[in-house]
Amino acid sequence: MTPLSGDHIVDPFAPSDGPILIQSARESITKFLESQKIAIPNRMSIDPRFERKLGCFVTLKRDDKERSLRGCIGFPEPFYKLLEALPEAAVYAATEDPRFPPVVLSEMNSLLVEVSILTEPVRINVENPKDIPKKIHIGVDGLILKWSFGSGLLLPQVALEFNWNAREFLENLSLKAGAPPNQWSTAGANIYKFQAQVFQETSPNGDVIISNHQR
């Protein structure tokens, strides 16, 4: 990724790329449910942009009034090429999220698929942990908490969905990491932030919109 200033980066994908990302995630899930094998969709293997190492998450939601969560798993750091990370995140979101039973093939036409492409996480450095909320931009920053007994991540769009302020975002991040809600403010916690391009289906197999959760 090419830095511009501060933690802002060049968007790796254009809004018109949304269908490619969403269809690739859908195809990966469908093929796995049919064959129990993770395969790289052809449209990804021939596009050099997918050779880049980028963090990504795939989120599945029910097409109900609440858009209730059905699965969400991904790779927060750019350790893997996107052509490997995206299919795996999609399959794991459908079958390995411990909060939900595995998705079955007949569900796919009633689920909404969301793909988030992440910037590289950057540690929030402050002298006093109580100042961390001042460094967080709701609707822009996603957060990661790392502590002695684990870690947790919340995507930028989650704070908007639940109408959290920065402190509530951090408290829920702490709980996601399996820690007390005030863990974010302790000396043993490290907080990182990142931004994201979020591609979302408006209906199952429907149009795709993008939210740029970046400055």
Mean pLDDT of 150-177: 96
**Residue 171, pLDDT above cutoff 70:** yes
Asked if the structure places residue 8 within a domain, the reply is no
Does residue 98 sit in the same domain as residue 199?
yes
pLDDT digits over 9-31, tens only?
457 899 999 999 999 999 999 99
Q: Which residue in the block uniquely carries the two structure tokens 């999609």?
A: 90
How crowded is residue 202: how many other Cβ atoms within 10 Å of its Cβ?
10
- The residue segments making up the domain with residue 164 are 122-193
What's the confidence (pLDDT) of residue 211?
81
Report pLDDT for 59: 98
Residues 181, 88: one domain?
no
* 63-77 tens-digit pLDDT: 999 999 999 999 999
Average pLDDT, the chain: 92
Return the pLDDT at 11: 75
* Residues 101 and 42 reside in one and the same domain: yes
Whole-number pLDDT of residue 16: 93
Q: Is 5's pLDDT higher than 50?
A: no
In the chain, the number of structural domains is 2
Q: What are phi and psi of 109, to 5 degrees?
A: -80, 0
Q: Are residue 68 and residue 161 in the same domain, yes or no?
A: no
Identify the pLDDT of residue 188.
86
Domain presence at residue 50: yes
170 occurs within a structural domain: yes
Strands (DSSP E) found in the chain:
3-5, 8-9, 55-62, 69-75, 111-118, 122-123, 142-147, 150-154, 190-194, 196-201, 208-213
Taking only the tens place, the pLDDT of each residue in 119-137 is 999 999 999 999 999 999 9
Q: Where are the alpha helices (DSSP H) in the chain?
A: 18-35, 42-45, 82-95, 156-161, 166-176
Round to whole Å and give the CA distance between 108 and 35.
15
* pLDDT tens sequence across 173-215: 999 999 999 999 998 899 999 999 999 999 999 999 998 655 4
